[in-house]
Amino acid sequence: MTRITLPSRRLTALFSAALLLSLLLGGCAELPSLAGRTHSVTLLDTADTKLAQAIMPLAAQHPGVSGIYALSDGRDAFAARALLAAAAQRTLDVEYYIWHKDITGTLLFDALRQAAERGVRVRLLLDDNNTAELDDTLALLSKQPNLEIRLFNPFALRSPRALGFLTDFSRLNRRMHNKSFTADNQATIVGGRNVGDEYFGAAGDVLFADLDVLVIGSVVGAVSQDFDRYWNSPSAYPATLLIKPPSRGDAGDIALEADRIDDTKAAEEYVQAMRTSPFVQQLIERQLPFEWAPTRLVSDDPAKVLDKARPGSGVAANLKNLLGVPSKELDLVSPYFVPGKSGTQAFAELAKEGVNVRILTNALEATDVAAVHAGYAKWRKPLLEAGVTLYESRRSWDEGDAREKTGRFGSSASSLHAKTFAVDDRRIFVGSFNFDPRSIDLNTEMGLVIDSPALAGKLGQAMRGSIPQRAYQVLLQPDGTLYWIARDAHGGITRYDTEPGTSVWKRMGVAILSVLPIDWLL
């Protein structure tokens, strides 16, 4: 008989005290009133700005459509943001889920500060879930005239943040996952990247293989209006209402920190690599080869984080309507792929009807969230039985210098983070939406549906060509067990009968997580 050991009285007392303290702190911490918050909207009088003068002649040649340039390289993605911030003359509207205080994060903070110092109106909207280490920096930035920061769905109790979940879990578990960077209502960047070294190819260890698009033309106005919707929503709180003002210093301290980072070897090498990028020269010289196509914004209602959004109004429903039902091809890239029973059934039905369904997600060795892999792993067998092709992105592969050969979805020692899918090589989505319950039901998401056979076809070509050499393909044996194969550039194949690149302990942990009823949290 197994003996059950009850907690000691001392442990019970400590637990009770901690719970009581959390309830007291959580109960005392309330969000401030928004009575004095100002209402602001997109500035439309930007036709005389440098960006407008460069973009409007191009847009006039392509009325009603938008110019799209894919930013698959992390350094190009950082450069695009930095150059837009430097070029802006009237307004910068910026929203992100994560913003790290590292090389690229600090440099972009300073780029926003410099823009505000020039007289540009800067509105920065950050989801509050990942700002625990930023309060001091945000307090300094808030002292810069023309620069306002709002925190979306914030924690009333600033520290320790975790205690807030005990008393307000249903609200705080819902987050703003949106990502956009818009300058002068003329150009915007939308996609999967947050702000941080790992997203921009500056990290020393693991890089996120990601995808953004730089966009000009008709859809930019819709992105600006959507930003207004979030900025003025009941969930967007001025940072100054939540963060204590700095005891000393001002926004100039951000410039000093950026100067200090600029002098480091890592930053010098990164900035030099960015400056020599062909993309930078093409952008400066107005030579970027934009793909012009009908483009529509899909975005959740910010009321979703309060569980008050109108049913059927979200990104998931709109994507189905705008992308249409695949008749031949469906290519889906999602780093956090948790299809659930209904999603698995939908993919299976498509495959059984003759649609080539190809899905790329992270392998266990490459994922940064093992619990999400557990939520996905249980559905591999029924997907494979229905004829779905499954690829799992490897952490690394032998392809020479990864810095020189970064592909659309990968680099050496990388974790997949791009979120994109294409239907029938005709239409493609690029944005923040993961195919998981969290994106569908809990977080707000946004992205662009682009009617472009050229862009959609590139994803299809990658899934049929380069991806099989950069990912494991998951296959099913006659007895129902899984195995993985890795292909190399020379046609060689290596077989694995367990999750490649993982320990038995990690596999056991995932197996335990996979039987827990936590899919709705993933």
Catalytic positions: 177, 179, 184, 417, 419, 424
Alpha-carbon gap, residue 421 to 404, rounded angstroms: 26
Task: Answer whether 353's CB lies under 8 Å from 325's CB.
Answer: no
Stretch (H or E) spanning 259? helix 252-262
**C-beta of residue 450 within 8 angstroms of C-beta of residue 68:** yes
- In 153-198, at which residue ranges do the beta strands (DSSP E only) sit? 180-183, 187-191
Tell which residue, 80, 78, 72, has the closest CA to residue 405.
Answer: 72
List, in sequence order, every residue forming a beta bridge with 96; answer none if it has no partner. Answer: 126
Q: How many CA atoms within 13 Å lie on the side-chain side of 238?
A: 17
Cβ-proximal residues to 478 (8 Å cutoff; 6+ apart), any chain: none
Gap between the Cα atoms of 102 and 139, Å rounded: 17
The Cα–Cα gap between 180 and 92 comes to 10
C-beta separation of 77 from 210 below 8 A: yes
The phi, psi pair for 190, rounded to 5°, reads -130, 140
Q: C-alpha 265: how far from its chain's center?
A: 28
Structural tokens at position 107: 């440099």
Of 432, 425, 519, residue with least CA distance to 464: 425
> What length does the chain have?
522
Please answer whether residues 499 and 507 qualify as being in contact, where contact means their C-beta atoms are separated by less than 8 angstroms: yes
| CB 415, CB 208: distance < 8 Å | yes
Identify whether the C-beta of residue 457 lies closer than 8 Å to the C-beta of residue 425. yes
CA distances from 327 to 100, 351, 424, 500 (A): 42, 10, 7, 33
In a 10 Å sphere around its CB, with 0-12 CB exposed, 13-18 middle and 19+ buried, how is residue 2 labelled? exposed
Nearest to 413 by CA among 429, 391, 398: 398
Check: CB of residue 488 under 8 Å from CB of residue 398. Answer: yes
* DSSP-based three-state secondary structure for 14: helix
